[in-house]
Structure 1
Amino acid sequence: MNNVSKWAAQLAKAVTDRTAIPSLSAGSPELDLETAYRVQRKLRAAAGPLAGSKLGVTSRAKQAQVGVSSPVYGYLAAADAIDLGDSLDTAKLIQPRCEPEIVFILGRELAGPHVTTADVLAACRGVAVGIEVLDSRYTDYRFTMADVVADNTSAGRYVVGTPVDPQGIDLRLVGVVLEKNGKVSATASGAAVLGHPASAVAWLARQLWAEGEGLQAGEIVLSGGLTAAVPVVSGDVVVASIDRLGSVELGCR
């Protein structure tokens, strides 16, 4: 078994066992981003139907903190979606954390080497509030950027609210509030994601084009966490609210 297959198998087993493992780089410091995306693609091939893509490390401050100059991306498995009104089964995850997202729902294909923010806004048929449930497979969320890419950028579950027409909404300026159990955990604005959340989606489209892929009509894109993620356990209730987009509530059991 080569290293890519071995690492993919270790991560898949961590999900099945619901048990965190040491980071891959702890034992293999040679792991780099290119190889990490190969591990991710190995996992993606076994994930079943896909719903779209997700972005990570979209904050300029976070990029500087971890020493990278661009975001990272992963895939969204359709089976990981939580319907509005349903709850998060925390027993099926390892160490869940929730963060608010602006979600783009694409109305047409978005692909090419020169996709712009304006192209993204023209291609989307709606935007929505979302909550992404992160669930790193690594002990105590300790990892390098290559580790997190291999682990599909800590993807766990996600819930997407009712889409609204983005026309006339400046997504840079919308206010964001994340609440946990009735108390404000964090606030932000849409500009927390690369200055404009649609810019993150444009970056993703250009990156996928370089890999011979693209974003398809009907897919959703989680444009990146707008605040720090909050840990959750059974009994918690998380609410993400974004001006003019609405709110999403997620109960945990």
Structure 2
Amino acid sequence: MQNPANGTSRMARALYEARATRTPIPPLTDGDPTLDIHDGYAIQRELIELLVADGDCVIGYKAGLTSAPMQAMFSVDTPDYGPVLASTVHHDGASVPSGAFIAPKVEAEIVFRLGASLKGPGVDVDAAREAVSEVMAGLEIVDSRIEGWRIRLADTIADLASNGAVVLADPVPAGDRDFRPTGMAFSRNGELLATGAGAAALGDPVAVVAWLANVLGERGVTLEAGQLIMTGALHSAVPITAGDTFVAEFDQLGSVTLHIGE
């Protein structure tokens, strides 16, 4: 990235205003094709500071690009991450207005809550499994403040990993169960659109927790007890239209429902 530090602040401010006005902006990488992953996270951190200054708070983290097809699309071999903001979390059966977003899509995923803190490096799957206390069926709304979803990797990272909102079912104890074979059926207005299994998320959704702990640990960040960990989509995201009702049914976890308002 050739821009000085104030370039990072300028890009964070542009994304902040795009979120506030629901007006998309051109890809950041159009203006500076040299933007890389590190630049994306630098912009993301400044954007989070702006949102927290408005009264929001980070209550967890979401991982994206956890499936092989999505990584191939971006020509990467690792996931990305962004914050889970308190203002974006809704309970099962919530009605979320489509007008709150720019170009929303929805996807089903497994969500964990930590019962103990984790800090990398050196966190393995066994340690991550011991730290997880609860698991929830989740429906994530992803959105992009970038025009037409014309995102490169640095764009989506800077844009908080394209976060929008999440709807969560009631939690169940995680125990020592294996979430890799956990099956999921995803429907819109009663029509089955996709199926998936936990293994689509980095081979094991618990491995996503370990990955996040290690990557954030490199930046001096600890995953804290009580935080939510969104482990990534189990299928391709589906565009949202006002009036839609989405349901994801998970083996052992139950179902979660999202209604889309105007």
Q: 2:164 aligns with which of 136, 143, 156?
A: 156
- Post-superposition shift, 1:71? 0.4
Aligned to 1:184: 192
- Post-superposition shift, 1:162? 1.1
Amino-acid identity (%): 40
Q: TM-score, normalised by structure 2?
A: 0.94
- Post-superposition shift, 1:62? 2.0
Aligned to 1:41: 45
In the TM superposition, structure 1's runs of 4+ consecutive aligned residues that sit over 3 Å from their partners are none
Deviations 1:190-226 (A, max 9, x none): 1001110000110010001100111000000101111
Q: 1:225 aligns with which of 225, 233, 238?
A: 233
Q: Structure 2: how far apart are the matches of 1:27 and 1:43?
A: 18
- Post-superposition shift, 1:64? 2.4
Aligned to 1:29: 33
Q: 2:109 aligns with which of 90, 93, 101?
A: 101
- Segment drifting more, 114-123 vs 217-226: 114-123
Matching residue's letter, 2:16:
A
Give yes or no for contact 2:94–2:257 (8 Å, CA) kept in 1.
no
Pairs within 5 Å for 1:239-250 = 239-250=247-258
Q: 1:51 aligns with which of 54, 59, 64?
A: 59
Structure 2 unaligned regions, length at least 5: none
Aligned to 2:92: 84
- Segment drifting more, 17-26 vs 142-151: 17-26
- Post-superposition shift, 1:168? 4.9
Task: Work out whether 1:119 is the aligned partner of 2:119.
Answer: no
How many pairs align?
Answer: 253
CA RMSD of aligned residues (A): 1.2
Give yes or no for contact 2:94–2:167 (8 Å, CA) kept in 1.
no
Aligned to 1:71: 79
Q: TM-score, normalised by structure 1?
A: 0.97
Deviations 1:140-185 (A, max 9, x none): 2111001100001110111111111222532000111111111111
Query: Secondary structure, in 3 states, of the residue corresponding to 1:91?
Result: helix
Matching residue's letter, 1:9:
R
Deviations 1:42-67 (A, max 9, x none): 11112221110000000123212321
Q: Structure 1: how far apart are the matches of 2:110 and 2:258?
A: 16
Matching residue's letter, 2:139:
I
Aligned to 1:12: 16
Give yes or no for contact 2:117–2:224 (8 Å, CA) kept in 1.
yes
Pairs within 5 Å for 1:185-200 = 185-200=193-208
Q: Structure 2: how far apart are the matches of 1:24 and 1:44?
A: 17
Q: Structure 1: how far apart are the matches of 2:241 and 2:154?
A: 28
Structure 1 unaligned regions, length at least 5: none
